[in-house]
């Protein structure tokens, strides 16, 4: 469990769990409500002791160096696997770069003075370093980064020029040579940052917890581990894609970075050249907004000969013949649309994926690359690029010689279009988190599904014990309780990490408690008859509503937090997070269902409330929400029923890429192309 218990000592939380079961047994045997209350209290104390043993909520003097080391180990495993999946471990298509336009960055002499004489700057200037030494190729970026006196660098380039891949390679190099306890390079897409609403550290903290939920654990002062790493300077932000922020916010993002990062904290930032130029110079009458202390490089187009070699080396025996028209176009001056399109690594890699056979396969049935030279059908560079984006999914889902094909391109395309539209138009981000997919489902559907599940369970129990009428009435009321509980909890975006309830939440839970009190009153009315107990039930509901509101608010809040606080210190991939959340949700639902059930005066009521609460807590986990969303989306034809398997398969085929516990489309332009295609269709 990771606690600091001594060898041979029985954990305190385990002792309290045993006490809970003992009090529960007494309550069931005697019908004593006080024994039931004692069981719930013991359960709450057990949870507090469990957290204490794990050290999740302990003193604020935590040594952050081991936390940084654990994050670094996790990132190394994550990005190494992703680089291998993308074939980045082989030197295939190296990009080159030159120093950026001097007007876009601060003078080199200023960076030298800042590093040596500025307050808080601790890096020393390498001997003989200068802006001319920033030029490089391939895996040289780590060496080039060392030449920057301040440890801050801007990477500029055109769409698809290889900025993200270059940063990924740099992150792996920095992780490989990182000293224990040193800063951790953290690659984060910038698309979801709104600098008008969120501070840099607020947004970074959210992204870190989103991809590595174990960083949400807090100290006694309420500061998360993610925030503590940031404020301690143990994170080197690698911010990818400033251009993905809306135009007016890019200058404000630069200002926020300058104002937030303390002196001496490094940063890497990538952006399209034109977008960065507009961000630095937002208007003719405004002062330029440079990234403080940053040097800059600009990626250069690929050499035509390099592109030709790259395209034909895996094209098969007839490759030179099939690619001959394209090779000729690459050598033509002025460059035709196909040559201008293929000058970026992204487009060259798409062309090779679409037109070249897989290993040990033939070219039979493959499209002919000569079609890229058809200036009538593809008259512009943009037209060629869109054609390549459109051809990626059919190529990725071509039949495999081994392993089978669970989905065809015709089946996968509408699923991927829906996901792209969900990210682009609803969430306004490039990160696909499975626990946010329920946001694609109307809230009323979640409300009804939750209420139906609670109503069926409660109604079945009451019907078996008290008859048909009692079952129908009780099921209806309990369904209302469950639906209302979900509706209240769904008032904010679904998160994998939930907070403990605040006082402001209790007003909503009072309404749930009132409905629950009404259900108890109907069941426990005079003579056990629902009709005769209606007035009594209303009275009991008014009184017990307050009690149930507090109990449900605190108890369910505790249960939800316990059920969805996923610890990913050993694995941060989406499947691992889902597995742990499902296990926690079911376990907590069972335990809290028992606890709440023991609070009642009558065994029937206890059993009904216990099962209802257990189901409520279990389904209220992120996994429970995903299960409801998955059924709804599958019925609507938006996603396959086996959603996680589909996403994993899309990742293996190169349509998606993985970043911690979330996925992204292979390129933001691919997501945008698919999203706009769906938008026009509907």
What are 419-450's pLDDT values in tens digits?
Answer: 999 999 888 888 888 888 888 888 777 777 76
pLDDT tens column, 317-348: 888 899 999 999 999 999 999 999 999 999 99
Q: How far apart are CA 362 and CA 353, in angstroms?
A: 14
Q: How far apart are CA 575 and CA 228, in angstroms?
A: 27
In whole angstroms, how large is the CA radius of gyration of the chain? 29
Report yes or no: 159 and 191 within 8 Å, Cβ to Cβ: no
Q: How far apart are CA 361 and CA 381, in angstroms?
A: 30
* First-to-last C-alpha distance (Å) of the chain: 50
Question: Using CA atoms in the order 555, 558, 559, 562, what is the torsion angle rounded to 10 degrees?
Answer: -170
pLDDT at residue 96, rounded to an integer: 92
pLDDT at residue 460, rounded to an integer: 58
Residue 199, pLDDT above cutoff 50: yes
pLDDT at residue 7, rounded to an integer: 40
Query: Could you give phi then psi for residue 272, rounded to 5 degrees?
Result: -70, 145
Residue 169, pLDDT above cutoff 60: yes
Residue 259, pLDDT above cutoff 80: yes
pLDDT at residue 367, rounded to an integer: 92
Q: How confident is the model at residue 521 (pLDDT cuts 50, 70, 90)?
A: low
pLDDT at residue 499, rounded to an integer: 39
Return the number of other C-beta atoms located less than 10 Å from residue 287's C-beta: 8
Residue 461, pLDDT above cutoff 60: no
pLDDT at residue 429, rounded to an integer: 84
Q: How confident is the model at residue 574 (pLDDT cuts 50, 70, 90)?
A: low
DSSP state of 436: G
What is the rounded average pLDDT of the residues 513-525? 52
Q: Are strands 136-137 and 96-99 parallel, antiparallel or unpaired?
A: antiparallel
Give all strands of the β-sheet with 662-665 in edge-to-edge order: 431-432, 662-665, 656-659
pLDDT tens column, 84-97: 877 776 656 778 99
pLDDT at residue 416, rounded to an integer: 96
Q: How far apart are CA 413 and CA 428, in angstroms?
A: 21
What is the rounded average pLDDT of the residues 551-579? 48
What is the rounded average pLDDT of the residues 223-232? 91
Report yes or no: 606 and 40 within 8 Å, Cβ to Cβ: no
Residue 297, pLDDT above cutoff 90: yes
pLDDT at residue 495, rounded to an integer: 40
Instruction: Please give the residue that has the higher pLDDT: either 358 or 393.
Output: 393
Two tokens at 579?
């597995």
Of 136, 159, 165, the C-alpha closest to 148 is 136
Q: How confident is the model at residue 502 (pLDDT cuts 50, 70, 90)?
A: very low
**pTM value?**
0.71
pLDDT at residue 46, rounded to an integer: 56
Helices of type H across 261-344: 273-280, 304-312, 319-322, 324-330, 337-341
pLDDT at residue 94, rounded to an integer: 79
Residue 556, pLDDT above cutoff 80: no
Q: How far apart are CA 434 and CA 562, in angstroms?
A: 19
Chain Cα centroid distance, residue 572: 10
What is the rounded average pLDDT of the residues 374-380? 94
Q: How far apart are CA 391 and CA 234, in angstroms?
A: 42
Q: Which of 77-91, 240-254, 322-336, 473-487 has the highest mean pLDDT?
A: 322-336
pLDDT at residue 323, rounded to an integer: 95
What is the rounded average pLDDT of the residues 603-621? 59
Instruction: Please give the residue that has the higher pLDDT: either 82 or 672.
Output: 672
pLDDT at residue 8, rounded to an integer: 41
What is the rounded average pLDDT of the residues 598-621? 57
Name every residue whose Cβ is closer than 8 Å to that of residue 204 and which is 6 or more positions away in sequence: 186, 188, 226, 230, 235, 237
Report yes or no: 4 and 53 within 8 Å, Cβ to Cβ: yes
Q: How confident is the model at residue 185 (pLDDT cuts 50, 70, 90)?
A: very high
Per residue in 335-360, is it b (16+ CB within 10 Å) or e — as a string? bbbbbbbbbbbbbbbbbbbbbbbeee
Lowest mean pLDDT among 72-86, 374-388, 496-510, 528-542: 496-510
Residue 253, pLDDT above cutoff 80: yes
Q: Is the torsion defined by CA of 645, 646, 648, 653 positive or negative?
A: positive
Instruction: Please give the residue that has the higher pLDDT: either 170 or 594.
Output: 170
ω into 334 cis (within 30 of 0)? yes
Query: Could you give phi then psi for residue 186, rounded to 5 degrees?
Result: -120, 110
Q: How far apart are CA 346 and CA 388, in angstroms?
A: 10
Name every residue whose Cβ is closer than 8 Å to that of residue 119 and which is 6 or more positions away in sequence: 263
Q: How confident is the model at residue 350 (pLDDT cuts 50, 70, 90)?
A: very high
pLDDT at residue 9, rounded to an integer: 46
pLDDT at residue 56, rounded to an integer: 41
Q: Which of 30-34, 192-196, 209-213, 411-415 has the highest mean pLDDT?
A: 411-415
pLDDT at residue 583, rounded to an integer: 60
DSSP state of 224: B
Lowest mean pLDDT among 240-254, 415-429, 490-504, 648-662: 490-504
Report yes or no: 435 and 426 within 8 Å, Cβ to Cβ: no
Supply the mean pLDDT for the chain.
75
Q: How far apart are CA 171 and CA 164, in angstroms?
A: 10
Q: How confident is the model at residue 663 (pLDDT cuts 50, 70, 90)?
A: confident
pLDDT at residue 569, rounded to an integer: 37
Report yes or no: 281 and 288 within 8 Å, Cβ to Cβ: yes
Per residue in 230-239, is it b (16+ CB within 10 Å) or e — as a string? beebbbbbbb
pLDDT at residue 343, rounded to an integer: 93
């Amino acid at each position: 469990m990771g606690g600091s218990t001594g060898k041979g000592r029985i954990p305190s939380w385990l002792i309290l769990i045993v006490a809970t079961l003992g009090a529960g047994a007494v309550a069931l045997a005697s019908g004593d409500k006080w024994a039931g209350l004692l069981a719930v209290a013991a359960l709450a104390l057990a949870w507090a002791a469990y957290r204490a043993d794990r050290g999740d909520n302990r003193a604020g003097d935590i040594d952050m160096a081991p936390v940084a080391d654990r994050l670094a180990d996790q990132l190394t495993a994550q990005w190494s696997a992703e680089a291998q999946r993308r074939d980045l471990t082989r030197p295939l298509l190296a990009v080159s770069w030159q120093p950026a336009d001097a007007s876009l960055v601060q003078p080199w002499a200023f960076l030298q003075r800042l590093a040596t004489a500025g307050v808080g700057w601790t890096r020393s200037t390498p001997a003989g370093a200068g802006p001319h030494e920033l030029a490089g190729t391939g895996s040289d970026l780590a060496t080039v980064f060392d030449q920057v006196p301040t440890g801050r660098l801007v990477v500029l380039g055109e769409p698809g020029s290889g900025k993200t891949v270059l940063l990924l390679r740099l992150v792996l190099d920095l992780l490989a040579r990182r000293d224990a306890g040193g800063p951790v390079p953290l690659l984060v897409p910038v698309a979801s940052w709104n600098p008008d609403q969120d501070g840099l550290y607020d947004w970074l903290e959210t992204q870190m917890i989103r991809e590595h939920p174990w960083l949400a654990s807090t100290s006694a002062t309420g500061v998360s581990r993610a925030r503590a790493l940031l404020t301690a300077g143990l994170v080197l932000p690698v911010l990818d894609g400033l251009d993905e922020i809306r135009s007016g916010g890019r200058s404000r993002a630069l200002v926020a970075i300058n104002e937030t990062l303390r002196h001496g904290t490094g940063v890497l930032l990538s952006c399209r050249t034109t977008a960065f130029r507009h961000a630095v110079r937002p208007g003719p009458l405004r002062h330029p907004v440079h990234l403080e202390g940053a040097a800059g490089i600009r990626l250069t187009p690929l050499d035509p000969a390099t592109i030709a070699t790259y395209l034909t080396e895996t094209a098969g025996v007839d490759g030179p013949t099939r690619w001959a028209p394209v090779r000729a176009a690459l050598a033509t001056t002025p460059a035709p649309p196909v040559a201008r399109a293929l000058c970026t690594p992204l487009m060259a890699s798409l062309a090779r994926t679409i037109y070249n056979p897989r290993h040990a396969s033939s070219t039979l049935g493959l499209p002919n690359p000569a079609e890229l030279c058809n200036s009538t059908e593809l008259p512009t560079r943009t037209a060629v690029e869109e054609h390549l984006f459109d051809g990626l999914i059919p190529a990725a889902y071509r039949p495999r010689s081994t392993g089978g094909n669970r989905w065809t391109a015709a089946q996968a395309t509408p699923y991927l279009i829906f996901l792209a539209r969900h990210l682009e138009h609803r969430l306004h981000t490039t990160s696909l988190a499975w626990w946010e997919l329920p946001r694609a489902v109307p809230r009323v559907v979640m409300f009804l599904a939750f209420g139906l599940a609670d109503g069926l369970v409660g109604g079945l129990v009451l019907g078996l014990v008290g008859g048909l009428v009692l079952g129908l009435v009780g099921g209806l009321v309990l369904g209302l309780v469950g639906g209302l509980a979900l509706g209240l909890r769904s008032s904010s975006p679904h998160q994998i990490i939930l907070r403990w309830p605040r006082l402001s939440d209790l007003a909503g839970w009072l309404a749930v408690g009132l409905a629950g009190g009404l259900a108890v009153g109907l069941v426990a009315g005079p003579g056990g008859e629902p009709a005769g107990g209606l007035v009594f039930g209303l009275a009991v509901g008014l009184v017990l509503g307050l009690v149930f509101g507090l109990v449900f608010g605190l108890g369910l809040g505790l249960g939800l937090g316990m059920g969805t606080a996923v610890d990913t210190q050993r694995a941060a991939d989406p499947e691992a997070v889902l597995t742990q959340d499902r296990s926690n949700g079911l376990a907590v639902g069972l335990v809290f269902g028992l606890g709440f059930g023991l609070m009642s005066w009558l065994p029937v009521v206890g059993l009904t409330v216990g099962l209802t609460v257990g189901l409520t807590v279990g389904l209220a986990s992120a996994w429970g929400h995903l299960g409801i969303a998955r059924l709804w989306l599958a019925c609507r034809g938006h996603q396959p029923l086996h959603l996680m398997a589909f996403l994993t398969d899309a990742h293996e085929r190169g349509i998606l890429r993985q970043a911690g516990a979330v996925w992204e489309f292979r390129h933001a332009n691919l997501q945008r192309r698919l999203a706009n295609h769906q938008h026009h269709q509907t």
